[in-house]
């Protein structure tokens, strides 16, 4: 049973004089569990609860009565839905002095009344959207034998679905906790023992006729007390379980929320107070078992990220694990004179499979301006297609243009991907289409997804698609990002398979950022099939979100900068031939003061390093990485060819670790000291044996020298073996040393293998281990056939 609770911004509660909860061996409360839960890090926070224990008997004992109902059925789009509850009290007089109300996001007001001899009196009327704490009453309300206690919860269901009672944030609850005092010396016929509280539950509507006495004004929420400092009211002020006031989140730290809700829901099901097994509750909601530890400082065990349960994490920007000068800008690349004069805003870039050509998808003389659009509709009748060749192939070594194509075919180029078969996948935000061209036919697309110039949602239309990621089996993902805020999966024939993602709800999570799987422009996506990862650049939310590519289950989100530093993420890409999960990202946008390239371990969210270019990046829009991560390319929304493309190379004579270890050795660590002692114990006898062996060898050497001198007198011979030690050292003469070399298999990003400026197809992998997580999501089975060319 909850015996106390306090939330930030709520007034404090001090028990009345000579009142306390009776805890101990012969009481209902065998032990007290104290939980202080922070949903965000607060500076200068000194809040807490003072728990005073005494062996001195008190005149009055305290108890808590839980009133509420499990009969909740909220019709969609319906307001002022009542769920009454009632009971009749049988016991010694009790005095209610504090009340806590609880409901979820649809709750408007919870109320409690006393009915005595046909007259109804209000005990409390509380707003469940306030910090959920025990609020002291202006004056105590007494309940006597045969009084009726009635109450209700009022809801406004704004959803398009029915909401029922349940243990998650998608369900509702109706709770009114009344804290009371009573004279412990008075016996009652309904009390099991002398020490048990007179009443603990007032559940469901046992006396419905009495409950009809609840007045009509019970639906009106109370005015906010002045003691609730800074607490907003209304539907967006709800802070479940009252940790602090903030905008309500539909996924508030789900581990903690689901745990507390399950505790209350189990109480509802049992209709009585029980001694709940914590691990049973954790198992019920799918969380690992919890072990209590002795009361001592375990701060070093705390993670450096916010945990969402089941492996879902939000990694905060931490210290760089690698040098910031890992990559250097190649200042003489590209050959600007060979680039077309019309090369302007770069939508997408990609390396071909041989890594000897950088393909650039640009907008020619056209810029993305409002004049080209009537909302989402492109004004084709006025402007038509771009006259220039919008795809150019640039030699990665010389920087010279090798080939151009794509004139009069595109209207507003954006994303570019080259798959394992060398096909070109392109998105055009004006056409609202994805087009795939095979390398042997660059005049007509082999596959088209979406309807030309017709924006929309559903399974047959797109709205300003931003990027594509293609699997080895031909299935592909589309970042339908500017209007629809979703990621869609299609099979190789262009048939719709599934999707996930939603637009912004303006709700935030415990870290102050939007909820997982909400998007504010899905601007870029990256695929790692070995790790079963699909990550997306949530551009205007300044984060990367990663999902299981098979099921679409959210796994983690990554921020490349601290919260106080804006970092709009424009593009991401995995290292193509890496055994691990190295991901490169680039930030951009006018709101980002310092645009940089970031190297991220997507399996953990660690920011390994970041770097800038010289001169600085101005408007980066896309990024691509060579197969062995020796070279990185960035395309910009530039006004001239001179600033459109950047090339970064791995710095020479730089050693990189093949794996990133989070643990740091500490000489004060107990295990480390034990290891040193064990090594010393083995080293001492070995060293002694070596010394003894050397002494014996020296003595034998002296005998041998005397023997050699004697032999020299007897017979003249080659003296190259006049030293027994020397002969022993040279007895292997004539054999060549076995040549030892490394094939680079375990040397990722090794710069000492030689100058490999154009040999980008090496197979040195980056080996960062990945721990895959199981996932589950209901796939959408709607199948829509898109236009496919006959030669596909």
Question: What's the confidence (pLDDT) of residue 252?
Answer: 38
pLDDT band at 667 (very low <50, low <70, confident <90, very high): very low
Whether 467 shows a pLDDT value over 90: the answer reads yes
Q: For 663, which DSSP code? A: -
Query: Is the distance from CB of 464 to CB of 448 less than 8 angstroms?
Result: no
* CA-atom Rg of the chain in angstroms: 36
Residue 73 has pLDDT above 80, yes or no: yes
Whole-number pLDDT of residue 578: 65
Note the pLDDT of residue 438.
Answer: 97
359-373, 422-436, 733-747: which has the highest mean pLDDT? 422-436
Which one is predicted more confidently, 751 or 437? 437
Query: Which parts are annotated binding residues for Zn(2+)?
Result: 414, 523, 621
616-624 average pLDDT score: 94
Distance CA 618, CA 620 (A): 6
Asked whether residue 308 carries a pLDDT value surpassing 70, the answer given is no
Using the predicted structure, report yes or no on whether residue 151 has a pLDDT greater than 90: yes
Query: Is residue 302 scored above 50 in pLDDT?
Result: no
Is residue 152 over pLDDT 80?
yes
Distance of CA 98 to the CA centre of its chain: 39
Average pLDDT rounded to a whole number, residues 224-244: 42
Burial 649-687 (b: 16+ CB within 10 A, else e): bbeeebebebebeeeeeeeeeeeeeeeeeeeeeeeeeee
pLDDT at 330: 92
Annotated binding site for Cu(2+): 37, 102, 104, 173
Name which residue leads in pLDDT, 7 or 251. Answer: 7
pLDDT of the residue at 754? 34
Residues forming the annotated binding site?
Answer: 37, 102, 104, 173, 363, 414, 416, 482, 523, 539, 621-622
Going by C-alpha positions, the residue among 479, 595, 467, 574 that lies closest to residue 528 is: 574
Contact 150, 143 (CB under 8 A): no
Look at residue 290 in the predicted model and tell me its pLDDT: 40
pLDDT in tens, 424-451: 999 999 999 999 999 999 999 999 999 9
Report how far residue 676's alpha carbon sits from residue 231's, in angstroms, rounded to the nearest whole number.
Answer: 56
Residue (of 610, 582, 589) closest to 538 by Cα position: 589
Higher pLDDT, 138 or 752: 138
275-287 average pLDDT score: 48
Beta pairing class for 78-88 and 73-74: unpaired
* Confidence check: pLDDT of 744 > 50: no
3-class secondary structure per residue, 517-538 = CECCCEEEEEEECCCCEEEEEE
Residue 431 DSSP label: T
Read off the pLDDT of residues 375-419 as tens digits, 9 standing for 90 and up: 889 999 899 999 999 999 999 999 999 999 999 999 999 999 999
Nearest one of 378, 379, 402 to 389, comparing CA atoms: 402
Q: Average pLDDT, stretch 165-171?
A: 83
pLDDT for 791 = 35
Kindly report the average pLDDT of the chain as a whole number. Answer: 76
Q: How far apart are CA 406 and CA 387, in angstroms?
A: 9
CA distance 785 to 495: 5
Binding residues for a protein: 363, 482, 539
Rounded CA-CA distance 110/106 in Å is 12
Q: What is the pLDDT of residue 674?
A: 66
Phi, psi of 318 (to 5 degrees): -115, 180
Of the candidates 96, 89, 337, 86, the one whose C-alpha atom is nearest the C-alpha of residue 213 is 86
Query: Cα 3–4–7 angle (5° rounding)?
Result: 155
Is residue 382 classed as helix, strand or coil in its secondary structure?
A: helix
Percentage of the chain exceeding pLDDT 90: 47
| Residue 103 to residues 137, 152, 362, 532, Cα–Cα distance (Å) | 20, 11, 53, 39
Positive or negative, the CA dihedral 588, 594, 598, 603 is negative
Contact between residue 454 and residue 461 where contact means Cβ atoms under 8 Å apart: yes
Range scoring the smallest mean pLDDT among 214-223, 356-365, 632-641: 214-223
Please write down the long-range contacts of 52-59, taking CB distance under 8 Å and 24 or more positions apart.
Answer: 54/20, 58/18, 58/19, 58/20, 58/22, 58/184, 59/18, 59/19, 59/183, 59/184
pLDDT at 324: 65
Q: Residue 23: pLDDT above 70?
A: yes
Q: How far apart are the first and last CA of the chain?
A: 66
Annotated binding site for Ca(2+): 416, 622
Between CA 421 and CA 444 the distance in angstroms is 17
pLDDT at residue 100 above 80? yes
| pLDDT in the model for residue 783 | 38
Predicted pLDDT of residue 315: 38
Identify any residues that bridge with 322 across adjacent strands, giving them in sequence order.
Answer: none
Band (226; pLDDT cuts 50, 70, 90): low
Helix, strand, coil percent content, the chain, rounded in steps of 5? 15, 30, 55
């Amino acid at each position: 049973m909850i015996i106390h609770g306090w939330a930030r911004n709520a007034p404090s509660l001090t028990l009345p004089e000579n009142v306390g909860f009776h805890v101990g061996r012969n009481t209902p409360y065998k032990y007290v569990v104290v939980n202080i839960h922070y949903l965000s890090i607060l500076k200068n926070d000194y809040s807490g609860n003072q728990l005073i224990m005494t062996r001195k008997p008190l005149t009055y004992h305290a108890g808590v009565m839980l009133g509420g109902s499990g009969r909740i059925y909220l019709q969609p789009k319906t307001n002022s839905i009542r769920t009454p509850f009632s009971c009749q009290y049988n016991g010694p007089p009790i005095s209610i002095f504090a009340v806590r109300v609880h409901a979820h996001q649809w709750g408007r007001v919870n109320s409690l009344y006393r009915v005595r001899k046909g007259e109804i009196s209000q005990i409390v009327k509380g707003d469940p959207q306030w910090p959920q704490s025990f609020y002291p009453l202006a004056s105590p309300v007494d309940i006597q034998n045969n009084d009726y206690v009635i109450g209700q919860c009022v809801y406004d269901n704004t959803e398009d679905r029915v909401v029922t009672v349940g243990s998650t944030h998608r369900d509702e609850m109706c709770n009114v906790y009344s804290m009371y005092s009573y004279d412990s010396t008075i016996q009652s016929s309904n009390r099991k023992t002398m020490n048990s509280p007179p009443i603990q539950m007032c559940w469901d509507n046992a006396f419905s006729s009495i409950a009809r006495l609840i007045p009509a004004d019970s639906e009106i929420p109370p005015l906010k007390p002045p003691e609730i400092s800074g607490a907003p009211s209304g539907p967006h002020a709800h802070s479940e379980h009252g940790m602090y006031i903030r905008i309500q989140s539909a996924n508030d730290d789900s581990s903690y929320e689901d745990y507390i809700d399950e505790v209350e829901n189990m109480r509802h099901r049992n209709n009585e107070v029980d001694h709940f097994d914590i691990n049973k509750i954790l198992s019920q909601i799918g969380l690992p078992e919890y072990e209590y530890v002795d009361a001592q400082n375990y701060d070093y065990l705390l993670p450096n990220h916010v945990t969402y349960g089941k492996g879902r994490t939000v990694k905060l920007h931490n210290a760089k694990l690698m040098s910031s000068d890992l990559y250097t800008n190649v200042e003489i690349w590209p050959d600007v004179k060979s680039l077309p004069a019309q090369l302007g805003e770069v939508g997408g870039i990609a390396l071909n499979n041989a890594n000897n050509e950088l393909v650039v998808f640009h907008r020619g003389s056209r810029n993305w301006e409002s004049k080209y659009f009537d909302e989402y509709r492109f004004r084709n009748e006025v402007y038509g297609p771009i006259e220039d060749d919008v795809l150019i192939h640039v030699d990665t070594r010389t920087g010279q243009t090798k080939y151009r194509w794509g004139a009069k075919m595109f209207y507003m180029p954006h994303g570019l991907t080259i798959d394992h078969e060398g096909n070109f996948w392109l998105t055009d935000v004006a056409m609202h289409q994805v087009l795939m061209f095979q390398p042997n036919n660059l005049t007509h697309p082999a596959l088209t997804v979406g309807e030309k110039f017709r924006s929309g949602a559903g399974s047959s239309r797109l709205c300003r698609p931003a990027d594509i990621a293609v699997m080895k089996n031909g299935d592909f993902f589309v970042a339908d990002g500017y209007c629809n805020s979703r990621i869609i999966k299609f099979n190789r024939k262009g048939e719709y398979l599934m999707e996930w993602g939603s637009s912004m709800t303006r709700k935030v999570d415990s870290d102050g950022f939007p909820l997982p799987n909400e998007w504010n422009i899905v601007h870029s996506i990256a695929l790692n099939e070995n790790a079963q990862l699909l990550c997306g650049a949530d551009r205007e939310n300044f984060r990367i979100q990663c999902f299981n590519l098979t099921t679409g289950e959210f796994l983690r989100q990554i921020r490349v900068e601290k919260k106080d530093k804006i970092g709009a993420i424009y593009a991401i890409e995995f290292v193509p031939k890496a055994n691990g999960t190295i991901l490169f990202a680039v930030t951009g946008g006018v709101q980002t003061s310092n645009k940089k390239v970031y190297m991220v371990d997507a399996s953990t969210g660690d920011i390994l390093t970041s770097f800038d270019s010289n001169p600085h990046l101005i408007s980066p829009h896309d990024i691509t990485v060579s197969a062995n991560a020796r070279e990185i390319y960035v395309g910009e929304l530039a006004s001239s060819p001179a600033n459109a493309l950047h090339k970064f190379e791995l710095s020479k004579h730089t050693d990189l670790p093949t794996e990133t270890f989070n643990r740091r050795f500490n000489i004060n660590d107990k295990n480390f000291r034990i290891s040193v002692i064990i090594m010393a114990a083995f080293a001492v006898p070995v060293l002694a044996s070596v010394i003894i062996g050397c002494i014996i060898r020296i003595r034998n050497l002296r005998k041998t020298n005397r023997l050699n001198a004697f032999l020299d007198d007897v017979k003249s011979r080659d003296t190259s073996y006049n030293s027994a030690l020397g002969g022993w050292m040279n007895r292997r003469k004539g054999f060549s040393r076995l040549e030892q070399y490394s094939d680079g298999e375990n040397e990722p990003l090794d710069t000492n293998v030689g100058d490999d400026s154009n040999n980008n197809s090496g197979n040195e992998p980056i080996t960062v281990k990945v721990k895959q997580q199981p996932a589950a999501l209901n796939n959408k089975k709607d199948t829509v056939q898109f236009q496919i060319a006959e030669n596909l």
